[in-house]
Amino acid sequence: MSEEKVYDLIIVGGGPAGLSAAIYASRAKLDTLVLEKNFVGGQMANTDIIENYPGFPDGVSGSDLVSRMEEQAEKFGAEIDFADIEGLEVDGGVKRLKTSEGDYLSRALIIATGTEQRKLGVKGEAEFTGRGVSYCAVCDGAFYTGKIIAVVGGGNSAVEEAVYLTNFASKVYLIHRRDSLRAERLLQERLFANEKIEVIWNSIVTEIKGDKFVEAVSIKNLLTGEVKDVAVSGVFVYVGVVPNSQVFKGVLELDEWGYIKTNEEMETSIDGIFAAGDVRASVLKQVITAAAEGAIAATFAEKYVREQVYFDQNISSGRKVVVVYSSITDEGREIVKCMSELEASNVIAIDGYKNSRISRKLGVEKFPAVRIFDNGKEVYSNDGISVHEIVNLLKERGII
């Protein structure tokens, strides 16, 4: 990696949001890099069967869908690299990602870092992770063939994975802290119909015990206060997720739970930085919504990059005058006519009605507007200026 290379777009995270953004961006000919921390696919890669992604009536395995998305992104020219993000600095138009592998630079950034599973935070959990405690049924389920295991949680993940784990385990306890499940009805029906599953209601895990490997969980009944040990060889934890946004805290605006806030165009609080997928504050977290958000983010990132390039190429050197007009007004049409008659090469006329991002970037509040730049630095600004006044201004300043 060259330190000085500036990508058009870097996408942080290679899950469905990141890969979909990569497909859209590279197909739009942006020089695109996907930076992934561990493995491409995110949580989707660890999902046995995805039943609600359109176009796959018999379901599709998460890893299969990942491979197809990855292949599609690379086919259009996206690069995929591996690095752990340690920080983000924004210096004007260029975004600098500090990573375990050095600095990466880009004009636009899409953050699609997803979520990671919440920990129980009980004694024995960290100690036995990888030795009986797991957060991935697809990865580790087969190790528990013929054994008794516990799944903790009451949401879609816990219920779906408890059912999946009965393919291997002889018995699965589902331990849930309330007396009803949060999971959707269809999943609940499958759970209750499965004879290998026993739900332990109103209970929490207080400790995970064992010697070298997990041997039991201590469970406290929240109604009676009774604590008992249940012998299990494995504990699968599915108690919700936390957004992978820590590294952006203090730079980007987050909501109270740490999800990144965006508008409908997936723009974050910083110009040129977008967010998509599970890490974004949103109402539905599914593969399909992640993919859709990635597509939206890439589309608006492309607009942003094109505009940046345009500004860099046209405004960064010498003295340049930008006249922003609205093509749907008579005055706007008069400006177009007048500017073409003037034939001044250092005057750029922009239709602010069609290019609302540029108007916003220039802080235009009323058309027509004029901005004068000296080597990229704004030295004059006037909004709601008439055609007559614009011509006088250009004459006074010796521009025409």
- Catalytically active residues are 136, 139-140
Q: Does 154 bind ligand NAP (CB under 6 A)?
A: yes
**What is the smallest separation between the CB atom of 280 and ligand NAP, expressed in angstroms?**
13
Euclidean distance between CA atoms 279 and 351, whole angstroms? 35
Handedness of CA 359, 364, 368, 371 (dihedral sign): negative
**DSSP 3-state assignment of 287?**
helix
Which run of H or of E encompasses 390?
helix 387-396
Euclidean distance between CA atoms 204 and 153, whole angstroms? 9
**What is the smallest separation between the CB atom of 243 and ligand NAP, expressed in angstroms?**
11
Among 177, 319, 357, 361, the residue binding ligand NAP under the rule CB under 6 A is: 177
Q: Does 239 bind ligand NAP (CB under 6 A)?
A: yes
Binding mask 354-393 for ligand NAP (x = CB under 6 A): ----------------------------------------
Q: Which is nearer to ligand NAP, 77 or 155 (CB)?
A: 155
Q: Does 258 bind ligand NAP (CB under 6 A)?
A: no
Q: Which is nearer to ligand NAP, 26 or 157 (CB)?
A: 157
Among 32, 46, 99, 156, the residue binding ligand NAP under the rule CB under 6 A is: 156
DSSP-derived letter for residue 119 is P
Among 123, 196, 261, 285, the residue binding ligand NAP under the rule CB under 6 A is: 285
**What is the smallest separation between the CB atom of 318 and ligand NAP, expressed in angstroms?**
53
Euclidean distance between CA atoms 33 and 8, whole angstroms? 9
DSSP-derived letter for residue 276 is -
Q: Which is nearer to ligand NAP, 49 or 270 (CB)?
A: 49
Q: Does 27 bind ligand NAP (CB under 6 A)?
A: no
Euclidean distance between CA atoms 17 and 24, whole angstroms? 11
Answer for the pair 54, 32: CB distance below 8 angstroms, yes or no: no
- Vertex 379: Cα angle to 373 and 382 (nearest 5): 95
- Where does this chain bind ligand NAP (CB under 6 A)? 52, 120, 152-158, 160, 177-178, 182, 204, 238-241, 285-286
